[in-house]
Amino acid sequence: MKGSQPVERKSKVKSLQEAFAVVKDGMSLSMTTTHFNSTPMAAMRHIVRQRVRNLTIMPTPSAGIAIDLLIAAGCVETVFASYVGLEFLGLAPNFRRAVEEKKIRLRESDEASLVMGYRAGASGIPFMAMPKYYELTDLPRANPESFRRITDPFTGEPCYAVPALQPDVAVIHVQECDPYGNARQLGGNHMEGIIAKAAKHVIITTEQVRPVEETRAQPTRTTIPGIVVNSVVELPFGAHPGACPARYSYDRLHLENYAALAKEGRTGEYLQEFVFGPRDHGAYLDMIGASRLMSLRTEY
C-alpha cells in the first residue's frame, strides 16, 4: 500500500558461512568480551576453520581466550594488548609464548586508550587527547605508534594523542537480537555499542533471534541499534566455553583443560578436537553434550 511501511523488510539473518565471508586475510578484527563473559567463541572457531591469516586484533580492554586461540591457530599478526590473560586461570599461554618468541607484533595498550580510541572511531574524530600522566608510564616508549605527545592548544600543557580505532569487522555476541540487528545485552555492558558504531562492518552473533515485535514493544531495552549492524547469526551457546550472562555460566572444566593444554604447548590437540573436529557449531555442541550444557544454565 502506498505510503505505508513495506510489508517485507530485508532480514539480516545469515548463516555463519555467509556472514563471515567478509573476514579476509590482513583485516583488523574486534571481538567483544570482558574476561570470560559474552566472548563470541563460536565465531572465533569458525574464523580458525576458515584459516584466516595476518589479522590485527583490536579487542576490548580485558580479553583472553579468543585471542589466545586465534594466535595458536596462526591467524594473528598484531594485537592491541591491554589485558590478554585467562583471569583466575592465569596467563594466556599462547599469547605469552608468541610475544616472548616475537611471533606477533604488539601495540602495547591499556584500558583507557582502547576505550577512548573506539570512542573517537565511533564519532569519526581523528584522535583522542589523553592526560599527561602517561608520561609517568612506559606505554609511550613501548608504543610510540599509539601514544604521541602533543600540546593542548588551549592551555599549552603537554598531553598525549591516541588514534581512533575503526576495525574492519567487529563480532559481538548477545543474548537476544531481532532479524534487523537490534540487539539486547543482558548482564554486562562492556562497550559493545560504541564498538558497533566504530567498526566498518558489524556481525552480531546471538543466542536467539527474537521477533521485531519484541523490540518495538520495549525499544529502550535495545543496547545496539540495528542501523549499524550488517549481519545476524543465531548461535545458541555461542560463547561456550565462556559465560553468557542470564543464560549460562562458564564451563570451568573445559577452560581448565584448555589452559592446561595451552600451557604445555599442546593447543594443537585442542584445536584438532574442538575446532577442526566438529564440522560446524551444531556438531561442536553435540560434542560438549546436552547434559553438560544444561548444567551450565543460570539466571544471572
Partner 1 sequence: MNSAINDATPAELIACVLARQLKDDEIAALGAASQLAMAAVKLALRMQAPNLSWLCGGSGAINSQLPLLLESAADPRNLFGAEYRYSMEDAVDLQMRGRVSTVFLGGIQVDKFGNLNMVCVGDYDKPKTRGPGSVGLPFAACFGRTIIYIQHHDPRVLVDKVDFVSGPGHSPERAKLTIPSSGGPYLIVTPLAVFDFDTPDKRARLVSVHPGVTVEQVLAKTGFKPVLAEPVTETLPPSEEELRILRGEIDLNGVLRRLIRN
- Using the rule CB under 8 A, is 111 a contact of partner 1? yes
Q: Is 41 in the site for partner 1 (CB under 8 A)?
A: no
Provide the minimum distance between the beta carbon of 3 and partner 1 in the complex, in angstroms, as a whole number.
39
Binding piece for partner 1, criterion CB under 8 A, among 19-27, 78-86, 172-180, 210-218: 78-86
Cell of 277: 573436529
**Is 135 near partner 1 (CB under 8 A)?**
yes
Q: What is the DSSP string of 137-177?
A: SSHHHH-TTT-EEEE-TTT--EEEEEE----SEEEEEEEEE
Question: Of residues 5, 8, 133, 291, which one binds partner 1 by CB under 8 A?
Answer: 133
Q: Could you say which of 30, 164, 245, 259 contacts partner 1 (CB under 8 A)?
A: 245
Task: Please report which residue ranges of 143-280 form alpha helices under DSSP H.
Answer: 192-198, 212-217, 252-263, 267-270
Determine if 37 is a binding residue for partner 1 (CB under 8 A). yes
DSSP per-residue string spanning 91-110: B-HHHHHHHHTT-SEEEE--
26 by Cβ neighbours in 10 Å (0-12 / 13-18 / 19+) ranks as: exposed
For residues 91 and 43, give the distance between their C-alpha atoms in angstroms, rounded to a whole number: 23
Q: How many residues of this chain interact with partner 1, rule: CB under 8 A?
A: 51
Site membership for partner 1, residue 290 (CB under 8 A): no
Q: Does 91 bind partner 1 (CB under 8 A)?
A: yes
CA distance 16 to 278: 14
Cβ atoms of 23 and 29 within 8 Å: the answer is: yes
In the β-sheet with 158-163, what is the strand arrangement from edge to edge? 127-130, 158-163, 148-151
Could you say whether residue 189 binds partner 1 (CB under 8 A)?
yes
Does position 160 interact with partner 1 (CB under 8 A)? The reply is no
Q: How far is the CB of 132 from partner 1 (least distance, A)?
A: 5
Cα 17 to chain centroid, rounded = 18
Q: Binding of partner 1 at residue 116 (CB under 8 A)?
A: yes
Q: Which residues share a beta bridge with 204?
A: 172, 232
Q: How far is the CB of 15 from partner 1 (least distance, A)?
A: 29
Nearer to partner 1, 197 or 210 (CB): 197
Which region, judged by CB under 8 A, interacts with partner 1, from 41-49, 105-113, 212-220, 285-293?
A: 105-113
Q: Which of 62, 146, 231, 267 binds partner 1 (CB under 8 A)?
A: 62
The C-alpha atoms of residue 171 and residue 32 are separated, in whole angstroms, by 7
**Which residue of 46, 190, 197, 263 would you call a contact of partner 1, by CB under 8 A?**
190
Minimal CA–CA distance to 190: which of 13, 27, 29, 36? 36
Amino acid making up residue 152: D
Nearest to 162 by CA among 179, 150, 173, 174: 150
Closest distance between partner 1 and the C-beta of residue 248, in Å? 11
Among 28, 60, 182, 231, binds partner 1 (CB under 8 A): 60
**Quick one: which of 76, 199, 243, 262 contacts partner 1 (CB under 8 A)?**
243
Residues near partner 1 (CB under 8 A) are 34-37, 60-62, 64, 81-85, 87-88, 91-92, 95-96, 99-100, 108-112, 115-116, 119, 131-139, 142, 187-191, 193-194, 243, 245-246, 298, 300
